[in-house]
Amino acid sequence: MKSWFGSFGSFNRDPNTGEYSWVPPERSSGGGERRPRKAHSRAASLGISLAITLVFGFVYFYFKLPAINIHSGELYLFIILLCAVYCACALVLSGFSAAGVRGYVSEARKKAAIPFYIICLCLAVAVVGSLIGWKVFRARDYAALLPVEDGDFAADVAEISFDQIPMLDSASANVLANRKLGELSELVSQFEVYSDSFQINYQNRPVRVTYLNYGDFFKWWNNQKEGIPAYMVIDMVTQEVTVQKLQEGIRYSPSEYFFRDIDRYLRFKYPTKMFTDVNFEVNEDGEPYWVATVVTRKVGLFGGEDAIGAVLVNAVTGESTYYDVADVPQWVDRVYTAELILEQYNYRGLYNGGFWNSLFGQSGCTEATSQYNYIAQDDDVWLYTGITSVTGDRGNIGFILVNQRTKEANYYPCAGAEESSAMASAMGAVQQYEYQATSPLLLNIGGQPTYFMALKDASQLVKMYAMVNVQQYNVVATGTSVSSCIENYEQLLAENGINIEGGVSVDTDEIEGVIEDIRSSVINGNSVYYIRLEGSDAYYSLSAADCPEAVILNVGDRVSIHASRSKGAIIPASGLELA
């Protein structure tokens, strides 16, 4: 049986076995052999290949933004991709006249020899550059990236005033900023609050600043001519959010498109510099800036990252200036990022005794704990983190403070609780409320290293405060206000036989008077009493948890209280005494 399918061939059946086999179609005698594809001339092939490679290179550079720097691994990948694109174009456009795989390989080698050798050179440089920076050979060079001096905690860390203690972390600041934006109908429909904030010293106050992003592409299209009209300042002490409106809007930011995107703007203006972080800051006059940390690699070709300077970009005008680390203006608070500082300390702690010691024996090997926070001092921001043994015991052997502008680093030996243990102690003291503790802030309370934490509810709002002694983390004091927390803490220290020098400077006024009005409310299970004295328009708030005598107050009673110097309709108070 024979079945034909035209030019597609046919099936034949073997009469003996009954099996079918396919017979390919016969070619017409006039078809001849397939002719090779017509190739472009050498000059045309070269020109077209170069043009396609340049277009690809610009598009890749525009979106990926690799640094043109020998210490950047992205540069070598960029070069390899350019060579690969050129090779592919040259081979396709010039055509092939050879037959067989061996012939194709031989011809390709001739036509793409130079790009092939460039690719091999890039791979060789990458391998050798990685080997000469290998920690096995250069462990002590990694350990030397962060010089650390021994310090005296009581002398180096000033006792902070009550009205200078920062109480907010990034998450709480973001919640407050979003609530504030929701009150501004002209902004909330077009902009969004950036999901993080940056702690700085602004006009001698610890604050967090954050910026606004365009809601989407169409909102950017409608507003990009005027720019982003404001940024936000969150006071970390009073928790007040200020919307700082600008006469001219911010025109360079991460939510911009094209060449006003801040990362793209920096890359095209500084193509050879490697940036590790771009953070938002404002100077003392309230002008918004982007501070871009510039880094290099100091161990081998790709190892030992370290900051060498910063580029400051005016967020409104786009004017930019590069500064070496030693010349960065005083108002800039962050050049060295927390991640870079922690990485360098861990290199020091792990490799100070050599590479093999870090694997076997681990004599003197230490590392930074997982928690860190910031201390505002001397118009700078210092990063704080605890130091513990690499063996994983649950205690600290000391802590370090590192200046984020200059990288000055001091180590303070102090055996005590790890930050996570202190956080657990603070939350255990108010476990009935299920509050969560913020990352601890290190304070000097009469010469005693003390962890200070805000306690937040599920909505990220601060409800209480806690202090935990670093060396004796069973000494835990809480309070609904900072002043009451400090008073309770100093009392607990005295009860446990811990002597302190002076105590905390609490800016309060002692006020005495006759109660003219009294009101009360229950906030998160705590009874709070609000009293107004004769001749005063403000109400003073007293928590029954801190001042039990408040529950027996009556109109006409003469009292003495310690009230905060803050202004407003309701003023926090403590230290109630019946006169």
The pLDDT value recorded for residue 3 is 47
> Is 566 a residue whose pLDDT tops 70?
no
- For residue 231, is it within any domain? no
What is the domain range of residue 87? 42-131
Query: Looking at the structure, do residues 50 and 74 belong to the same domain, yes or no?
Result: yes
The three-point CA angle 103-108-113 to 5° equals: 135
Q: Find the mean pLDDT for residues 349-365.
A: 87
Query: pLDDT value at position 504?
Result: 46
Confidence at residue 186, expressed as pLDDT on a 0 to 100 scale? 79
Higher pLDDT, 462 or 504: 462
Assess whether 470 and 517 both reside in one domain. Answer: no
Asked whether residue 431 falls in the same domain as residue 488, the answer is yes
Q: What is the pLDDT of residue 4?
A: 46
Of the chain, the percentage scoring pLDDT greater than 90 comes to 38
Q: Which of 460, 495, 530 is the last residue of a domain?
A: 495
- pLDDT for 575 equals 75
- DSSP per-residue letters across 472-483: -TT-EEEESSHH
**Mean pLDDT in residue range 142-156:** 87
The model's pLDDT over 198-220, given as tens digits with 9 standing for 90+, comes to 999 888 888 999 999 998 999 99
Residue 513 sits in the same domain as residue 573: yes
b/e for 136-159, b at 16 or more Cβ within 10 A? eebbbbbbbbbebeebebeeebeb
Based on the fold, state whether residues 537 and 567 are members of the same structural domain: yes
535: pLDDT strictly greater than 80: yes
- pLDDT for res 332: 94
In a domain, 471, yes or no: yes
Kindly state whether residue 568 falls inside one of the protein's structural domains: yes
- Is residue 274 over pLDDT 60? yes
Top-confidence residue, 39 or 175: 175
Looking at residue 269, its pLDDT comes to: 96
The pLDDT of residue 548: 78
One domain, residues 514 and 490: no
What CATH number has the domain bearing residue 558?
2.40.50.140
Do 48 and 77 fall within a single domain?
A: yes
Note whether 477 and 530 are same-domain residues: no
Angstrom distances, CA of residue 527 to CA of 456, 480, 506, 542: 18, 11, 24, 9
The predicted pLDDT at position 537 comes to 83
- Residues 494-512: pLDDT tens digits? 777 776 665 444 456 788 8
Confidence of residue 88 (pLDDT cuts 50, 70, 90): confident
**Mean pLDDT on 377-392:** 85
Which has the higher per-residue pLDDT, 404 or 520? 404
Average of per-residue pLDDT across 160-183 = 82
Query: Which of 442, 466, 495 is at the close of a domain?
Result: 495
Phi and psi at residue 263, in whole multiples of 5°?
-65, -40
The answer to whether residues 489 and 431 belong to one domain is yes
Q: Is the pLDDT of residue 523 over 80?
A: no
Q: Which residue among 463, 495, 527 closes a domain?
A: 495
Q: What angle do CA 159, 163, 165 make, to 5 degrees?
A: 60
Give me the pLDDT at residue 564, please. 67
Classify residue 171: in a domain, yes or no.
Answer: no
How high is the pLDDT of residue 336? Answer: 95
Cα–Cα distance between 349 and 208 in angstroms, integer? 31
Q: Is 198 exposed, middle or buried (0-12, 13-18, 19+ CB in 10 A)?
A: buried
Query: How much is the average pLDDT of 141-159?
Result: 85
Per-residue pLDDT tens over the stretch 409-459: 999 888 887 888 889 889 988 888 889 998 888 888 877 888 898 898 888
**143 falls in which pLDDT band (50, 70, 90)?**
very high
Residue 50 has pLDDT above 80, yes or no: yes
The string over 290-309, giving b where at least 16 C-beta atoms fall within 10 Å of a residue's C-beta and e elsewhere, is: bbbbbbebbbbbbbbbbbeb
Residue 554 lies in a domain: yes
Question: Residue 144's pLDDT band (boundaries 50, 70, 90)?
Answer: very high
150 to each of 73, 378, 390, 396, 412, how far by Cα in Å?
36, 19, 20, 16, 6
Q: How far apart are CA 465 and CA 223, in angstroms?
A: 42
User: How many domains does the chain fold into?
Assistant: 3
| Residue range 352-369: mean pLDDT, rounded | 87
Q: Report the distance separating Cα 293 and Cα 545, nearest Å.
A: 47
Same domain, 52 and 126: yes
Average pLDDT, integer, range 44-48: 82
Q: In this structure, are 59 and 104 located in the same domain?
A: yes
Q: What is the predicted pLDDT for the residue at 249?
A: 92
Which residues are registered as beta bridge partners of 58? none
What does the mean pLDDT of the chain come to?
84
Check residue 505 and give its pLDDT: 43
pTM of the model: 0.77
- Check residue 99 and give its pLDDT: 56
Question: For a pLDDT cut of 70, what percent of the chain falls above it?
Answer: 85
pLDDT in tens, 93-105: 766 555 555 666 6
> What ranges in 192-328 are assigned the alpha helix state H?
217-223, 262-269
Mean pLDDT of 172-181: 89
- The answer to the question of residue 482 being in a domain is yes
Q: How far apart are CA 414 and CA 449, in angstroms?
A: 8
Instruction: Give the DSSP letter of residue 253.
Output: B
531 in the same domain as 478 = no
Decide: residue 391, CB within 10 A, 0-12 exposed, 13-18 middle, 19+ buried: exposed
The verdict on residue 280 lying in a domain is no
Least confident of 253-267, 385-399, 520-534: 520-534
Residue 342: Cβ within 10 Å count:
20
pLDDT at 64: 94
